[in-house]
Amino acid sequence: MFKIGNVILKNNIVLAPLAGYTNSAFRKIIKEMGIGLIYTEMISDKGLIYENKKTDELLYVTDFERPISCQLFGSDKESFVKAAKIVIEKMHPDIIDINMGCPVPKVALRSQAGSALLKDVNKIKEIVKAVVDTVEIPVTVKIRSGWDDKNINAKEVAIACEESGASAICIHGRTRSQGYSGKVNLDIIKEVKESVNIPVIGNGDIKTLDDAKKMFDYTKCDAIMIGRMALENPFFIKELVSYFENGIILNKSTYKDKIELALKHFNYLLEIKNEKQAVLEMRSIASFYIKGLPSSIKIKNELFKIKDKENLINLLNNYLKELENSIE
C-alpha cells in the first residue's frame, strides 16, 4: 500500500503520462495489469479554459481506472488555477499533477511551460501554492533533473514544491536538454529523495525487473513510474506488481498473450473513438505490442496500410495463426 496525501493506492507502481497514448482505453489495459496509480496525458490549461473540444475529450475517465491523476501543463498561475477548477468539476480526478518536465519545443520553448518552469523557482512556488490552495485533492509535481547539465536543480525544485504544499514529487532523472538521450541519472533521484519528506516517484529507463529493483534500492524512492515499457509490453506492469506485491516472478508473456491483448485494446479503443481514429491509433499500438516477434516488421508494414476495423482484426488474427503454425 502507498499513499499520496489522503489517496490510498494499492501499490507503488505508477503508469507515466504519455501524450497521445494514455487515454481511457490504454489506461484500462494497464489497470487490468494491477497498477497502483494512473496518470492522464498532459492537458493544456488554456485548452481547458477555452473549451477546446479535443482538450475536453482528454477528460474522459471511467471509474475502473481510478485512482487517477490528472496532469496539467501551462505557464502561469492564474491559468493553472482556472484549469484546476475545471478538471475538478468535469473529471473529479483523485490527484492533480503539474507538468514541469515536458521538453518538447512547442511546450517548453514556445509556451514556456513544462520543463521551462524549472528555470524559475519562485514561479514554481507560486503555481504550486495557488493550485494547492484551490483544490481539496492532493497536488503533485512531475519534474526533470533540471533544464540542462549546467542547471541541475531538482533538489531545490523539489524542496520548493514540498514547501508550497505538494503531496509528492515525480522525477525523471534527465535534463530537459537531454530529451530521451543518455542514461537516467539515479543520483539526482536519490538526492531528491534525501531532501524531502513527501513521497518521491522515481522515473526513467525502467525496462526490466532489475531496473525496477535498482531504482528502488539505489534511490530509496517510494514508488516507481513506468512509461515507454508499459506501451511496449503492458504485461511488464503485471510482472512488476506480482514481484513487488507478492515476491513472485511471473513467466514472460507469449506472442499469443500479446496479440490477444492488442485485439482487446482495439475493442476498448472502438468504445471511445470512431473507427477511423481507433484504427489509426491501433496501428501504432499494435506495432509496439508485436515488436520483437517473428516477422513483425512485415506485419508492421501491413498494419500501416490498413484503414478499417475488419482488416485490422483479420491481420492480427491471421498473424496469430501464422505464429501458431510456425511454432507447432
Ligand X SMILES: Cc1cc2nc3c(=O)[nH]c(=O)nc-3n(C[C@H](O)[C@H](O)[C@H](O)COP(=O)(O)O)c2cc1C
DSSP string, 110-122: IS--GGGGGG-HH
Total residues binding ligand X (CB under 6 A): 21
Residue type, 235: F
Q: Are 184 and 153 in contact (CB under 8 A)?
A: no
Residue 27 beta carbon to ligand X: minimum distance, rounded to whole angstroms: 13
- Phi, then psi, of 224 in degrees rounded to 5: -120, 150
Which residues participate in catalysis according to the annotation? Answer: 102
- Which window, 10-18, 51-59, 240-248, 292-300, contacts ligand X (CB under 6 A)? 10-18
Residue 19 beta carbon to ligand X: minimum distance, rounded to whole angstroms: 4
Instruction: Give the footprint of ligand X on residues 214-243 (CB under 6 A).
Output: 226-229
Residue 186, interface with ligand X (CB under 6 A)?
no
Instruction: Give the footprint of ligand X on residues 166-185 (CB under 6 A).
Output: 172
Residue 71, interface with ligand X (CB under 6 A)?
yes
Residue 173 beta carbon to ligand X: minimum distance, rounded to whole angstroms: 9
Alpha-helical regions (H) of the chain: 24-32, 45-49, 53-57, 77-91, 105, 121-134, 154-163, 186-195, 209-219, 228-232, 235-246, 255-272, 275-290, 296-303, 309-327
Residue 99, interface with ligand X (CB under 6 A)?
yes
CA dihedral for 209, 210, 214, 217, sign (positive or negative): positive
The residue whose Cβ lies closest to ligand X is 227
- Which window, 94-102, 147-155, 244-252, 289-297, contacts ligand X (CB under 6 A)? 94-102
DSSP string, 201-255: EEES---SHHHHHHHHHHH--SEEEE-HHHHH-THHHHHHHHHHHH-PPPPPPPH
- Which window, 44-52, 58-66, 95-103, 299-307, contacts ligand X (CB under 6 A)? 95-103
Residue 48, interface with ligand X (CB under 6 A)?
no
Q: What contacts 129, CB < 8 A, 6 or more positions away?
A: 164, 165
User: Which conformational region is residue 172 in: left (phi greater than 0), alpha (psi within -120 to 50 degrees), or beta?
Assistant: beta
Interface residue with ligand X among 10, 11, 18, 90 (CB under 6 A) is 18
DSSP 3-state of 290 = helix
Residue 39 beta carbon to ligand X: minimum distance, rounded to whole angstroms: 7
- Angle (nearest 5°) at CA 133 between 51 and 2: 95
Residue 103, interface with ligand X (CB under 6 A)?
no
Calculate helix-pair angle for 186-195, 154-163, nearest 10 degrees. Answer: 30
Of 73 and 319, nearer to ligand X (C-beta) is: 73
Residue 318 beta carbon to ligand X: minimum distance, rounded to whole angstroms: 29
Residue 42, interface with ligand X (CB under 6 A)?
yes
Residue 84, interface with ligand X (CB under 6 A)?
no
Q: How many residues does the chain have?
A: 328
Of 90 and 228, nearer to ligand X (C-beta) is: 228
Of 117 and 306, nearer to ligand X (C-beta) is: 117
**CA 164/CA 256 separation, integer angstroms:** 49
Of 41 and 222, nearer to ligand X (C-beta) is: 41
Interface residue with ligand X among 10, 11, 19, 56 (CB under 6 A) is 19
Residue 249 beta carbon to ligand X: minimum distance, rounded to whole angstroms: 20
Residue 114 beta carbon to ligand X: minimum distance, rounded to whole angstroms: 8
| C-alpha cell at position 221 | 524512492
CA dihedral for 74, 78, 79, 81, sign (positive or negative): positive
Q: Are 263 and 316 in contact (CB under 8 A)?
A: yes
Interface residue with ligand X among 205, 222, 239, 281 (CB under 6 A) is 205
The residue ranges that bind ligand X (CB under 6 A) are 16-20, 41-42, 71, 99, 101-102, 142, 172, 203-206, 226-229
